[in-house]
Structure 1
Amino acid sequence: MLSNPTSQPTTRVEAAMRVYEAGIQALRDAGFDELSKNPDCIDLVHRFETGSRTTAGFQTTLIAKMQEQWIPGELGDYRLADVLADTLRIYPSEAKARRRIAEDLGPRTGFSGAPLDPVYPNTAAAHADGAIGRGHITVIREFFAQVPSYVDAETREQAEAKLAEQARILRPDQLRRAGNRILAYLNPDGDAPEVDRERKRSFTLGKQGTDLMTKGSFCVDPELRAYLEALFAKYAKPGVGNPADTDSTVDTEPADEVAQRDTRSVGQRQHDGLKMVLRDALASGTLGQHRGLPVTVVATMTVKELEDATRQAITGGGSLLPIRDVVRMAAHAHHYLALFDDDGRPIYLGRSKRIAQGDQRLVCYARDKGCTFPACWRPANCCQCHHCREWVAELGLTDVDQLALVCDSHHRLAGVKDTDWHTIVAGPDHKYPGRILWVPPKHIDPTRKPRINHYFHPHEYWDLV
């Protein structure tokens, strides 16, 4: 939000910032109706693009500066990326991406305190000039992720300088083609050492779409590919494990007529085969435990949601499952299904032991659904049970109504000191009784007004309007 303070600026940065904000306001007031010719419009669009790229470079410098002097909890959260996401109201993934860019393009300081050049100095200079955008930076960073480890430092520096020079005049797609030519020169045989293959391996699940489907990406090493090939050889054959055909099995070789009835594509058969193998592995009970519960699927819902088959349950990993899928999954062993009343109020379970038991974690899964710290997005699978009342060996109780799911980073912020965040349970007169409230320290909020996390209860956002 633009500001128009009347006090005198105390720094050159503040004075320049006020001129910048005043200029934006003047443009907003002037409008663009007087621009009737397309050449004038495209010129202005280009100047705006240069300006936005330049301000993005300012942000990169500031983020790098904050990262170097970062104190967990100073600005209310443990990680800088979380502070950026909440302050700028951007995706957490976008905040992490900006922080990583700042690590490569922002100013650095050595152990002796002497300033160091950015990791990619020429790219940083072009970024600061407003000559390149986020797309160019992504291409250059991805280029160096593919450069073989045996390439010497001098050659890397020459490649970075050439790419930064080309980025000033090329589109990102054109720059990628130029980068591929350089990669072909650096690695003409295409042979990658083991360390380079290990560096590239990944398996990434994307966000769930509105249709509850999920796209992702992967780059698997030769060993995992070999496992998948063996798996698909059986489980992705036509007629094997076809959910649309009751005669389709996995125990015997499919009959010819069963295989011929299978109209699934190769990709669909591989999807269904992988699902069967993972389901059997989870149901086997041989995968050990994670945070006090067997490695399995935990789905929570209310009785009303179960009766209304059009609704969805939420898993311990934070994803949504259609009720019909939950009911079908419940037929397999070692999956947990927690049912609560329509208000989502959990039953009471008490323990005199320090560590929360599995059944108590299930109650926390159902009530909290994820980390209870304000605005945190980390699901229940990534959380531990936190005692809202500090546990004392002689007097403390591990009662479920005093437990809260908290992710590892935010658990470090909770405590009993004045500089810590305090946790309390909302009383019966509160708008959200039984929910976990976080009380910020005075340096974050002098009024210490309790805060609540609505992320896993999105219907509550309507109450904030």
Structure 2
Amino acid sequence: MTNPVDALLDTLTALRSAWVEASGSGADERGMSAAALLDINQRIAGARRLLDGVHARVAAEMSARSRPEFGSDGLARQAGFRSPAKLIAAATGGHTGDAVRLIQVGEATRERTLFSGEAAPARHPHIARALHDGMVSVAAASAISAMLDRVAVRVDADTRADAETALVRQAPLLSLDELHAVLRRAEAHLDPDGLEPVVGELHGQRSLKIQQDATGMTVLTARLDAETAAPIVAAIDAIVTTQLRTSRGHNTASGLTVDDPAGDAADDAPATNGGPVAPETRSLPQMRADALAAICRHASGCDQNTLPKPSTAVVVRMDLSQLREGAGVATIDGIEQPIDAGTARRMAAAADLIPCVLGTASEVLDFGRARRHFSAAQRLALVERDGGCAFCHLPPAFAEAHHIRWWQRDGGTTDLANGILLCTSCHHRVHADNWEIRIEAPPGAPPSAGTVWFIPPSHVDPHRAPRLGGRRRFDPLAYHLVA
């Protein structure tokens, strides 16, 4: 590898030039254009990744020189600190935990010396290269290396290396929260035998505490595993989603879809169930609290079934052969934590659960111009592909089926290849800012098996680099789709 400081200096020099050009005077960011601010932000982020990568190398070396066997001669002790982490935290003014993470990443990505005295490559060489090049943050590198270390005992080296390559290529496309969701699924697929005890442990940790605080408010604190949470989330989101759609005038007679946004032809506006539309003044947490109260009132003796049914129920996805064999990994819509086959089989015995079996001979998934609104079968197929809002990844209950090419303005068809799930906010954002949407499916594959790409407008990204969307964004094997 080249000197990491050289790459950092080159990046800072380019940042300075861009700053001077964007600000005119070279001093004030308030005079920059929106495009220039976005560019400067990206350059600063790249410089921070490079700087943190260099700091991780230094932190690992400081830790090596502070090993307990050195006693008072260790580097940290000589500097007046009990540990290298405290020494680094004092210098940065940050948390000791952040310093520990720097050390751990540095140790995982630096070349090693074996007991024989021979040099050996880094424990995670692909992460080391990405860190050196400023492609991933220290936080992302720490999360990936920690997951790979957890499965090291049960997964062979070649498989781990392939996974490391995949995750390093995918990490720059994801926020840290999104990366953690990918890592949970990757770990489950790499080590399916280790998933069952994890799921069992999480199930044993489920809890619901009911307390009253000093103001007289009742406080519910719940920690729920995937199996317990799935029906609760589906029931509450069903009520909230129905109320939000009604307040926005988005409910159709079938309750299945919202059509194209305001600004299209007047006769393409979404249909309502009649009557004036009242604006929703409650916050989302308030709506969820009211939904929970409504469910409990109904369970306490309500003799009328007036609660909305979940639009997607509880959808569990798993290969049928694996489900029968009792092996493998399954996922639940709206829940990030994967579940094992045994849990999936137990859930399959419950009512109101939909296994993922789509596109059978008895279901028509494409309607062309014969109908305007997407059917329930089409919506399930879109959920399979998009996983919820294809752009911001809200759960399916908050996403609605839209035409990519608008029904009225563009003559778009009500087919899967022209459909996409988006929440209301992302729907308006995509259309208002003129994002392009592409659905790419392998030859002969159904549209529901396609990959969603969002191409930003030039004012968002001058290079218009495609951004992966839909369910594939969280697929640990999706790295091969990235150019």
Q: Tell me the TM-score normalized by structure 1.
A: 0.43
Question: Greater share of helix residues, 1 or 2?
Answer: 2
Structure possessing the higher radius of gyration over alpha carbons: 1
